[in-house]
């Protein structure tokens, strides 16, 4: 079942609330359904249809609109039932989520001004218009969780689900990989920390003496995302940057104020205030990153190559798993050093989801082999080296219980949740006033709706 089946797409709310649907002047809207006092508008359906087309989704236009229409009905039914069940979403929850999403869209547009200019609305107007739709969305989410949160599948149900799949409809599983790593991350020397701080201090002094912040950022900042823009980051709110960085940014009072030197996981910074707008702030910054010395990196690389030799030499009986425990500097070594796929929650990777540098390295390995040391940049930007270990490389195949149990479990769970939702719709839609107009009466809907 689609992850967004029950959720209002926030960007689509923005679009439908602030722009004509097709961008060709005002369009006469109409109510195409009412469920429990909550209307579904023609523009709701059309906006999502146009968005799907822009994202490359293809299919019969009438069938796509019918599917979107039913998704919206389901959202309204969940909202109605949430209100009936007296579920509550606090103002703090709504405001926090609203701020988080607006920060995201400001980043997508590049600045608050560009977002406001595109929709011809101020941030205050955005918040006023979006607050109630978002409250309704969060209520619908709560009701959704009530329906499916306790649904699980047993091993026998998983086996039964797979057994009942028609042989020709069992999906093909592409090549997947399981990959481990051993990381050596040399510490940054005290001398290099002193040098980096001295460099940023010198730049700050030059700014305070009148040199232009943006020019020095272009010349010296080591933040590739902002240096070319004179260090400007664009408007952001709280919860976006490193805590120390945010504290310094929001403590600046007047345009042009320059911060003290601050240190984050990324390195040393100095900031200059460009502007503040409500809960958002825009600053320039210069970043100087303390570097691991080339000599220390070379030593780390040599140590890893020695470890690889231990693993490869049968006489040493050093397994990859044992080497991870003994030698790796990676916090993920508690997982046996295996790379975790955040999308799936397991350690299986499709080739197109892997970092190209990782794929280039492991593609040359046989299963059970370990690479020589390769350069690596940690999540916080520190230079390091690592060994990569190819534990599993599957061949493309039709799914089977032995090799693809976790994937089949997800399919079985998704189907069971879908059945629960279908039963819930059949039971609850009869208790809410529900009618649709002729525009959608011929739709082939997948749920059993009790229309008036």
CA distance 392 to 366: 9
CA distance 393 to 208: 57
What residue has token string 């961008």? 23
CA distance 49 to 67: 10
Provide the pLDDT for residue 274.
95
CA distance 155 to 187: 47
Provide the pLDDT for residue 321.
93
Three-state DSSP at 350 gives strand
Q: How many CB atoms lie within 10 A of CB 358?
A: 20
CA distance 114 to 110: 7
CB 57 within 8 A of CB 64: yes
Provide the pLDDT for residue 381.
75
Going along the chain from its start, the domains and CATH numbers come out as: 10-154+410-440 (1.10.4030.10), 173-187+293-398 (3.10.50.40), 190-288 (3.10.50.40)
Q: Which two tokens stand for residue 72?
A: 């919206």
Cα–Cα distances in angstroms (integers) from residue 88 to residues 84, 133, 348, 394, 417, in the given order: 11, 14, 39, 47, 24
Cα–Cα distances in angstroms (integers) from residue 272 to residues 230, 253, 256, in the given order: 11, 10, 6
Residue 407 exposure: Cα atoms within 13 Å on the Cβ side: 17
Distance from CA of residue 177 to its chain's centroid? 22
- Residuewise pLDDT in 10s, the chain (452 residues): 333 333 334 444 454 444 443 344 444 578 999 998 899 999 889 888 888 888 788 889 999 999 999 999 999 999 999 999 999 999 888 888 888 888 778 777 777 778 888 888 888 888 888 889 899 999 999 999 999 999 999 999 999 999 999 999 999 999 999 999 999 999 889 999 999 999 999 999 999 999 999 999 999 999 888 899 999 988 888 877 889 999 999 999 999 999 999 999 889 999 999 998 878 889 999 999 999 899 999 999 999 999 999 998 877 778 999 999 999 998 878 889 999 988 877 898 999 899 999 999 999 999 999 999 999 988 777 889 999 999 999 999 999 999 889 889 999 999 999 999 999 998 898 888 888 888 888 889 989 887 66
Provide the pLDDT for residue 434.
85
């Amino acid at each position: 079942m689609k992850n967004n089946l029950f959720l209002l797409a926030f960007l689509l709310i923005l679009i439908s609330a602030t722009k004509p649907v097709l961008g060709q002047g005002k369009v006469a809207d109409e109510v195409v359904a009412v469920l429990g006092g909550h209307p579904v508008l023609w523009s709701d359906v059309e906006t999502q249809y146009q968005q799907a087309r822009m994202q490359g989704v293809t299919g019969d236009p009438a069938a796509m609109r019918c599917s979107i229409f039913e998704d919206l009905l389901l959202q309204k039914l969940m909202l109605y039932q949430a209100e009936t069940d007296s579920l509550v979403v606090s103002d703090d929850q709504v405001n926090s989520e609203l701020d988080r999403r607006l920060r995201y869209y400001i980043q997508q547009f590049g600045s608050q001004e560009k977002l406001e200019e595109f929709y011809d609305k101020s941030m205050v107007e955005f918040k006023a218009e979006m607050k109630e739709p978002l409250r309704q969305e969060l209520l619908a989410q709560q009701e959704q969780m009530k329906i499916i949160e306790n649904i699980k599948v047993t091993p026998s149900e998983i086996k039964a689900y797979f057994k009942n799949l028609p042989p020709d409809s069992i999906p093909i599983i592409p090549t997947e990989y399981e990959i481990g790593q051993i990381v050596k991350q040399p510490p940054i020397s005290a001398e290099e920390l002193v040098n980096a701080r001295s460099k940023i201090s010198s730049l700050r002094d030059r700014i305070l003496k009148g040199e232009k912040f943006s020019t020095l950022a272009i010349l010296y900042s080591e933040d590739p995302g902002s240096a070319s823009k004179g260090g400007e980051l664009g408007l952001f709110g709280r919860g976006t940057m490193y805590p120390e960085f945010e504290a310094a940014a929001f403590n600046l009072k007047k345009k042009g104020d320059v911060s003290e030197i601050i240190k984050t996981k990324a390195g040393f910074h100095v900031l200059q205030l460009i502007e503040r707008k409500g809960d958002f702030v825009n600053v320039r910054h210069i970043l100087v990153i303390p570097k691991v010395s080339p000599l220390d990196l070379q030593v780390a690389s040599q140590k890893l190559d020695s470890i690889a030799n231990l693993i490869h030499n049968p006489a040493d009986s050093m397994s990859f798993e044992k080497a991870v425990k003994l030698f790796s500097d990676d916090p993920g070594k508690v997982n046996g050093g295996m790379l975790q796929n955040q999308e799936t929650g397991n350690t299986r990777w499709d080739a197109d989801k892997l970092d190209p540098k990782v794929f280039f390295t492991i593609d040359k390995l046989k299963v059970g082999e370990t690479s020589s040391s390769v350069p690596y940049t940690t999540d916080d930007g520190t230079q390091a080296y690592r060994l990569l270990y190819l534990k599993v490389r599957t061949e493309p195949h039709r799914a089977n219980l032995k090799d693809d149990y976790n994937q089949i479990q997800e399919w079985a769970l998704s189907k069971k949740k879908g059945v629960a939702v279908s039963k819930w719709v059949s039971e609850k839609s009869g208790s809410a006033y529900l009618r649709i107009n002729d525009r959608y009466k011929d739709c082939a809907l997948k749920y059993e709706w009790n229309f008036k």
